[in-house]
Structure 1
Amino acid sequence: MIFLILLVSFGVSFVGFPIIIPRLKRAGIVGKNMNSEKQEEVAEMGGLVMASGFSAGIITAIIMRTFFNVFLSISLASILAVLSTVLIVVIIGVFDDLISIRQWMKAIMPVFAALPLMAIKEGYSMMRIPFGGLIDFGIFYSLALVPLGITGAANAVNMLAGFNGLEVGMGA
Structure 2
Amino acid sequence: MIDLQWICLAFLGSLVLTPIIKKISEIAKAYAKENKRTVHHGKISRIGGVAIYLTFIIVSSLFLEVDRAINGVILGGSIMFFAGLVDDLIDLKPRMKLLLECIAAGVAIYFGVSVDVIRLPFGISIDIGVFSVLFTLIWIVGITNAVNLIDGLDGLAGGLCVIVLMIIGSMGIIERRFDIMNLAFVLGASILGFLVYNAHPASIFMGDCGSLFLGFMVSTISIMGFKSSTIMTLALPVLILMVPIIDTLSAILRRTLKGQRFMEADKSHLHHLLMRQFGHRNTVIIMCGLTALFGLSAFVYMLNRNIGFIVMLVMLFAVELFIEKSGMISNHYHPLLSLERGVRAKFKKQKTK
- What's the TM-score once normalised by structure 2's chain length? 0.41
- Give the percent of matched residue pairs that are identical in Structure 1 and Structure 2: 26
Name the counterpart of 2:125. 134
Distance 1:90 1:80, change over 3 A: same
Q: Which amino acid aligns with 2:18?
A: F
What residue number does 1:16 align with?
17
Alignment partner of 1:58 out of 40, 43, 60: 60
1:97 and 2:88 matched: yes
Of Structure 1 and Structure 2, the greater helix share is in: 2
Query: Conserved in 2, the CA contact under 8 Å of 1:47 and 1:168?
Result: no
> By percentage of residues, which structure has more strand?
1
Deviation at 1:7, TM superposition (A): 1.8
1:35 to 25, 36, 39: 39
Match of 1:7 in 2: 8
Answer whether contact 2:79 2:100 (CA < 8 A) is retained: no
The answer for the alignment partner of 1:71 in structure 2 is: none
Q: Deviations over 1:6-34 (max 9, x none)?
A: 12221221110111112202220001574
Deviation at 1:169, TM superposition (A): 4.4
Deviations 1:107-157 (A, max 9, x none): 34211111222112224511212247111122422x112211221122123
Maintained 8 Å contact 2:32/2:43? yes
Does residue 1:163 correspond to 2:165, yes or no?
no
1:165: Cα distance to partner? 5.4
Q: C-alpha separation between the residues in 2 aligned to 1:93 and 1:115?
A: 17
CA distance in 1 between counterparts of 2:95 and 2:154 reads 22
Number of residue pairs aligned between Structure 1 and Structure 2? 158
| SS, match of residue 113 in structure 2 | coil
Residues 23 and 165 of structure 1, relative CA distance in 2, 3 Å threshold: farther
Distance change >3 Å, CA 80–CA 13, structure 1 → 2: same
Give deviations 1:75-105, integer Å, cap 9, x for gaps.
6112211111211110110111122112233
Q: Which residue of 2 aligns with 1:70?
A: none
Matched-pair contact (CA < 8 Å) for 2:150–2:157: yes
TM-score (norm 1): 0.78
Q: Please, which of 114, 125, 140 is the counterpart of residue 116 of structure 2?
A: 125
| Cα distance, 1:159 vs structure 2 | 1.6
Q: Is the 8 A contact 2:71 2:111 kept in 1?
A: no
